[in-house]
Chain A
Amino acid sequence: MTNMNLYSRGDKLFVIANMVLIGMFAISTLYPFIYIAALSLSSGFEARAGKVLLTPVSFTIEAYQYVLSDPQFWISYKNTFIYTIGGTLMSLLLIIPGAYALSRPQLFGRRFWNLTVAFTMWFNAGLIPFFLNMRDLGLLDSYFGIIIGFAVNGFNIILLRNFFESVPQSFEEAARMDGANEFQVLWKVYIPLSKPAIATIALFCIVSRWNGFFWAMVLLQDEDKIPLQVFLRHTISNLSDDQEFGATLFNAAYSFETVSAAIIVCSIIPVLIVYPLMQKYFEKGILLGGVKE
């Protein structure tokens, strides 16, 4: 909106009230994170007594020492990196060439192949058949199963296909003159031109991999293969269920609450690091998402 320099007093009041409301919404979004951070740096005793509200009470880093000295924490952190990097690369490897092929007008049966992709967005067999299939494929308890089993989704293919379709033909003509084949055209023309779309898809893959929980919990039994989210979940439910353990923690300088808070902080930090980078892309990504069949 431009040229809004004609303000009545009512307008000014409206603008100020509006800013206050937005500010309140933003603070209420941020507060739970501040609360958790404060909790993670407070002593177990004060945390348990409900004394922590905004800033650490009896500042201590014992909860972090407890978490960081747990080898299981580091194993699950490493696993999350494996699933995130491996899964994202696998997604790009499967999605990019497929989306390119689907965007080519000369592809035989193009409507049929597109429908094959789109149908998976409308109808899903559900949890049980998917689980039984993974088991029959021997992909339970395996790194590869997690990486390959969730690599593709129809929405991302269609998003990228639409982007490829919007690239003007003239861009590839020079490459064609030089006798480039389809792989070379994709690699040298389409991929460089589609960096924003590919980055958007990659970032969404990274986030969903980093945050992935349900299927990792269902498919992985081996403690050495679980990702951070499953480890966090186990810790929170073990600590709250196991009274004896809770009591030993309570006597120390950390408690169940401060330890959970410390793990939460440790797993949010990487997301916060990538977040500014992602912000550049996701608004665009959502808009690319207004796609057609």
Chain B
Amino acid sequence: MSSLTRTQRIWKHLRREWQLYVMLLPTIVWLVVFLYKPMYGLQVAFKDYSIFRGVAASPWIGFEHFETLFGNDQFIRALRNTVIISFYSLLIGFPVPILLALMFNEVLNQTFKKSAQTIVYLPHFISSVIIAGIVITAFSPSAGVVNTVIGWFGLEPIYFLTKPEWFRPIFIGTGIWQEAGFQSIVYLAAIAGVSPTLYESAVIDGASRWQMMWKVTIPSIMTTIIIMLIIRIGNVLEVSFEMIILLYQPATYETADVVNTFIYRQGIQAGQYDFAAAAGLFNAVVAFVLVMTANSLSKRYSRTSLW
């Protein structure tokens, strides 16, 4: 071996293992064309982009778009809304799947448990267009079931989706309704991993089921809970903007518009690609820092990294 030069060794390796590289090539080409090339395209954030000149030939203008961005009230508002919506989703939505998992764990009738799980996982697989369609129908002022029920109490119908103060409760509630069941799977798996001997000794000590839940189950899944919390905090900028696009309207922008919906309107709808790309770059960099921090924190917490 040592008599061969480096180049000769590489050639020998390639002749033997060329098939592996043929297999790898399409995947890598795809990543470069569809994900890495757009990263190169992020330079429009620092350019006066012209469709006719293209990305590379447009003139540089430095940080001008970022200066405009941070002087733009709508952007600041979108940033604030993103953080507020994420924060409340986390505060209200984070405990729900944990509770659900704990509750499922206490069900002894397997048929009941399986059927209930089948039902609560379902909304995760339904498209956001359909979920939004259901929300729009259910909350509509004349025909919707919500206003019918409100009517029973003698209250005036509310046109919920045009009221800024109602947007966040409806959006966050919809998110919990759609995802809480599915998110409980992670905790159920953690509970399934708890050693049965812990429960057995608790039974011998005369613990009630309620006490076992608090003294055995919850402490045993604490690591999972903390890791999930760290991930959620790391993804704080990831508001499901597709759902927001489907539910918001100009009347509710003040509470509903988030960074990604702002980018969509400014960039794709209004054609200010360079300015919108600057907002996107800011978003991506902050998200990157948050995710990497979250990853290293959870690595420290659980020894195995998440990725």
Chain B residues, CB < 8 A from A218: 268
Cβ of A69 within 8 Å of any chain B Cβ, yes or no, is no
Please determine whether A19 and B27 come into contact, CB atoms closer than 8 angstroms: no
Alpha-carbon distance between A170 and B27 when the two chains are bound, in angstroms? 27
Alpha-carbon distance between A118 and B168 when the two chains are bound, in angstroms? 33
Chain A residues, CB < 8 A from B105: 1
User: What does the 1/0 interface line of B6-21 toward A look like (CB < 8 Å)?
Assistant: 0000100100010111
Alpha-carbon distance between A133 and B115 when the two chains are bound, in angstroms? 45
Q: Which residue of A lies closest to B181 (CB)?
A: A29
Alpha-carbon distance between A22 and B103 when the two chains are bound, in angstroms? 7
Q: A10-B210, A15-B108, A257-B137 are in contact. Are A264 and B130 (CB under 8 A)?
A: yes
Please determine whether A50 and B116 come into contact, CB atoms closer than 8 angstroms: no
Alpha-carbon distance between A107 and B143 when the two chains are bound, in angstroms? 62
Please determine whether B280 and A125 come into contact, CB atoms closer than 8 angstroms: yes
User: What does the 1/0 interface line of B156-195 toward A look like (CB < 8 Å)?
Assistant: 0000000000000000000001000100011001000000
Please determine whether A8 and B307 come into contact, CB atoms closer than 8 angstroms: no
Alpha-carbon distance between A3 and B137 when the two chains are bound, in angstroms? 48
Q: A15-B108, A101-B23 are in contact. Are A53 and B145 (CB under 8 A)?
A: yes
User: What does the 1/0 interface line of B126-151 toward A look like (CB < 8 Å)?
Assistant: 11111001101110101111011001
Alpha-carbon distance between A126 and B31 when the two chains are bound, in angstroms? 14
Please determine whether B23 and A100 come into contact, CB atoms closer than 8 angstroms: yes
Alpha-carbon distance between A136 and B58 when the two chains are bound, in angstroms? 14
User: What does the 1/0 interface line of B224-249 toward A look like (CB < 8 Å)?
Assistant: 00000000000000000010011000
With beta carbons under 8 angstroms apart, the residue of B24, B209, B281 that contacts A15 is B209
Please determine whether B27 and A120 come into contact, CB atoms closer than 8 angstroms: no
Please determine whether B185 and A213 come into contact, CB atoms closer than 8 angstroms: no
Please determine whether A133 and B37 come into contact, CB atoms closer than 8 angstroms: yes
Chain B interface residue count: which class? 35 or more
User: What does the 1/0 interface line of A158-201 toward B look like (CB < 8 Å)?
Assistant: 10000000000000000000000111001000000000000000
Cβ of B91 within 8 Å of any chain A Cβ, yes or no, is no
Please determine whether B288 and A97 come into contact, CB atoms closer than 8 angstroms: no
Chain A interface residue count: which class? 35 or more
Please determine whether B208 and A11 come into contact, CB atoms closer than 8 angstroms: yes
Cβ of A35 within 8 Å of any chain B Cβ, yes or no, is yes
Please determine whether B120 and A29 come into contact, CB atoms closer than 8 angstroms: yes
Chain A residues, CB < 8 A from B109: 19
Q: Which residue of B lies closest to A182 (CB)?
A: B19
Please determine whether B209 and A11 come into contact, CB atoms closer than 8 angstroms: yes
Alpha-carbon distance between A213 and B107 when the two chains are bound, in angstroms? 37
Q: Which residue of B lies closest to A155 (CB)?
A: B307
Please determine whether B38 and A292 come into contact, CB atoms closer than 8 angstroms: no
Alpha-carbon distance between A121 and B234 when the two chains are bound, in angstroms? 13
Please determine whether B305 and A101 come into contact, CB atoms closer than 8 angstroms: no
A interface, by DSSP: helix, strand, loop or mixed?
helix
Please determine whether B120 and A133 come into contact, CB atoms closer than 8 angstroms: no
Interface centre among B10, B24, B36, B291 (most CB of A within 10 A): B24
Please determine whether A286 and B186 come into contact, CB atoms closer than 8 angstroms: yes
Nearest Cβ distance between residue B41 and chain A, in whole angstroms? 4
Q: Which residue of B lies closest to A126 (CB)?
A: B280
Contact residues of A with B, CB < 8 Å?
1-4, 6, 8, 10-11, 14-15, 18-19, 21-23, 25-26, 28-30, 32-33, 35-36, 39, 47-53, 93-95, 97-102, 104, 106-108, 113, 116-118, 120-133, 136-137, 148-149, 151-152, 154, 157-158, 181-183, 186, 207, 210-214, 218, 229-230, 232-233, 236, 240, 255, 257, 260-261, 263-264, 267-268, 271, 275, 278-279, 282-283, 286-287, 290-293
Shortest beta-carbon contacts, A-B, top 3? A98-B27, A126-B280, A211-B127
Given contacts A133-B37, A218-B268, 12 further A-B contacts (CB under 8 A): A29-B119, A94-B27, A100-B23, A126-B280, A128-B268, A132-B44, A186-B23, A233-B129, A255-B143, A275-B122, A283-B185, A287-B189
The 17 listed contacts between A and B (C-beta, < 8 Å) are A18-B106, A36-B137, A49-B143, A50-B147, A99-B27, A113-B28, A123-B39, A123-B284, A123-B288, A128-B280, A132-B44, A213-B129, A236-B133, A261-B137, A271-B125, A292-B304, A293-B305
Contact residues of B with A, CB < 8 Å?
10, 13, 17, 19-21, 23-24, 26-28, 30-31, 33-39, 41-42, 44, 54-55, 100, 103-109, 112, 115-116, 118-123, 125-130, 133-134, 136-138, 140, 142-145, 147-148, 151, 177, 181, 185-186, 189, 196, 199-200, 203, 208-210, 242, 245-246, 260, 263-264, 267-268, 273, 276-277, 280-281, 283-284, 287-288, 291-292, 295, 304-307
